[in-house]
């Protein structure tokens, strides 16, 4: 890839960052910055620090950014199998990913990352190597940076859809699901996913007809109060094994998981709602600008 100093200048102007500002914030000399602007490629960790400061994918700073070729049907490797799906989810939902780059989950010791993703250190190391080989990860002697996220997100979604059908779940049928808004997820030990979570995230754009609850706790009171009758499959209420331990977001799981739930449903109205969630909550993560 060829370095593009003109792109750097345009991005600096867009962010209101002067050459002297770059020099001070990155701890390099002004001649070094002017060399970058003139077309000399940054070295070492400077490229990753520069892209983090300007909030862009590092590959955006190159003139001949290559088009990566990847098919989600490729079976080699583990990146888009269950373990890889979990790791990518943990990285993309880390609030420090772009806000506190360098201190984000991707840059903690592998043992800590493995603990967060509930995986072995060996598996995490193997997956990080695969991410680097597939050009989703840039690394140097100090930092790691998640790149080409849109190209990463599409096969992740495909892999998640396959994984979701295999997770443990209980299915129920209820005469009505209108009671969902009267429940207290935090107190009762579950998080909303799918349609109810999307209703919360989009200010009731979607009226839920199917309820998804992420829980590993028996919800006996809810079953009784909602007059739920267990069925082998289908139904309009489902209890799903938590994907990963996630922080509560307005009583629901992370918007990334909500989006994936909606897409998995293959419902047109859910797909429209998913688009809204992507625009409001995910675009800045998947397509950082």
Could you tell me if residue 237 is inside a domain? yes
pLDDT of residue 94: 92
Q: For the purposes of burial, counting CB atoms within 10 Å of the CB of 144, is it exposed (0-12), middle (13-18) or buried (19 or more)?
A: buried
Q: Could you tell me if 181 and 273 lie in one domain?
A: yes
CB 136 within 8 A of CB 143: no
Q: Of the residues 116, 144, 164, which one is the last residue of a structural domain?
A: 164
The pTM of the full predicted model, rounded to 2 decimals, is 0.76
Q: Give the C-alpha separation, 28 to 102, whole Å.
A: 17
Q: What is the pLDDT of residue 289?
A: 63
Q: Is 244:257 a contact under the CB 8 Å cutoff?
A: no
CB 92 within 8 A of CB 256: yes
Residues 98 and 54 in one domain: no
Choose one of 164, 181, 209: the last residue of a domain: 164
Cα angle: 53, vertex 150, 212; to 5 degrees: 110
In terms of Cβ atoms closer than 10 Å to its own Cβ (0-12, 13-18, 19+), residue 192 is: buried
Distance CA 8, CA 222 (A): 55
Number of domains within the chain = 3
Give me the pLDDT at residue 173, please: 96
Considering the domain architecture, whether residues 157 and 195 belong to the same structural domain is answered as: no
User: Distance between CA atoms of 181 and 212, rounded to whole angstroms?
Assistant: 13
96 and 180 in a single domain? The answer is no
Residue 141 belongs to a domain: yes
> Which CATH number fits the domain that encloses residue 129?
1.10.10.10
Domain that holds residue 245: 169-286
252 inside domain: yes
Dihedral (C-alpha) 229, 256, 161, 247: value to the nearest 10 degrees?
Answer: -50
- pLDDT per residue, tens digit, the chain (289 aa), is 567 788 888 888 888 888 888 888 887 888 888 888 888 877 656 776 777 777 776 666 765 544 344 444 444 578 999 899 999 999 999 989 988 878 899 999 999 999 888 899 999 999 999 999 999 998 887 889 999 998 899 889 888 888 887 788 899 999 999 999 999 998 999 999 999 999 999 998 999 999 999 998 899 999 999 999 999 888 999 999 987 766 678 899 999 999 999 988 867 788 889 999 999 999 999 988 6
| Same domain, residue pair 174 and 276 | yes
157 inside domain: yes
- Is 73 contained in some domain? no
In a domain, 139, yes or no: yes
What pLDDT score does 71 carry? 46
Do 186 and 207 lie in one domain? The reply is yes
- pLDDT reported for residue 162: 80
Last residue of a domain, one of 61, 94, 109: 61
pLDDT of residue 62: 67
Query: Do residue 191 and residue 278 come from a single domain?
Result: yes
The answer to whether residues 205 and 158 belong to one domain is no
pLDDT score of 68: 40
- For residue 5, the model assigns a pLDDT of 80
- pLDDT given at position 63: 57
Q: For strand 144-146 and strand 237-240, is the pairing parallel, antiparallel, or unpaired?
A: unpaired
Is 77 inside a domain boundary?
A: no
The verdict on 50 and 87 lying in the same domain is no
In a domain, 76, yes or no: no
pLDDT score of 75: 43
Which is nearest to 135 in space by CA: 153, 124, 148, 145? 148
182 and 275 both lie in a single domain: yes
| 45, containing H or E segment | none
208 plus 160 within the same structural domain: no
pLDDT at residue 141 in the model: 77
| Residues 109, 13 share a domain | no
Phi, psi of 114 (to 5 degrees): -65, -40
Backbone torsions φ then ψ of 109, nearest 5 degrees:
-55, 150
């Amino acid at each position: 890839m060829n370095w593009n100093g003109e792109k750097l200048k345009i991005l600096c102007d867009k962010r209101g960052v002067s050459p002297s500002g770059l020099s001070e914030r990155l701890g390099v000399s002004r001649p070094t910055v002017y060399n970058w602007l003139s077309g000399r490629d940054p070295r070492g960790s400077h490229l990753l620090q520069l892209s983090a400061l300007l909030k862009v994918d590092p590959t955006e700073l190159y003139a001949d950014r290559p088009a990566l070729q990847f098919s989600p049907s490729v079976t080699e490797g583990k990146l888009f199998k269950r373990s890889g799906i979990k790791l990518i989810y943990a990285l993309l939902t880390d609030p420090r990913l772009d806000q506190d780059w360098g201190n984000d989950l991707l840059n903690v010791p592998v043992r800590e990352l493995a603990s967060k993703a509930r995986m072995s250190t060996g598996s995490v190391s193997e997956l990080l190597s695969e991410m680097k080989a597939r050009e989703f990860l840039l690394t140097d002697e100090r930092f790691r940076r998640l790149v080409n996220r849109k190209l990463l997100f599409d096969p992740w979604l495909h892999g998640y859809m396959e994984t979701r059908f295999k997770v443990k779940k209980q299915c129920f049928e209820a005469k009505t699901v209108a009671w969902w808004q009267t429940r207290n997820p935090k107190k009762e030990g579950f998080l909303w996913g799918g349609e109810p979570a999307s209703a919360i995230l989009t200010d009731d754009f979607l009226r839920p007809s199917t309820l998804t609850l992420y829980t590993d706790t028996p919800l006996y009171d809810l079953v009784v109060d909602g007059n739920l009758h267990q069925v082998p499959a289908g139904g309009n209420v489902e209890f799903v094994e938590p994907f990963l331990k996630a922080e509560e977001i307005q009583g629901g799981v992370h918007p990334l998981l909500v989006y994936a739930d909606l897409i998995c449903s293959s419902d047109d109205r859910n797909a429209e709602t998913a688009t809204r969630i992507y625009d409001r909550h995910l675009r800045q993560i998947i397509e950082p600008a």
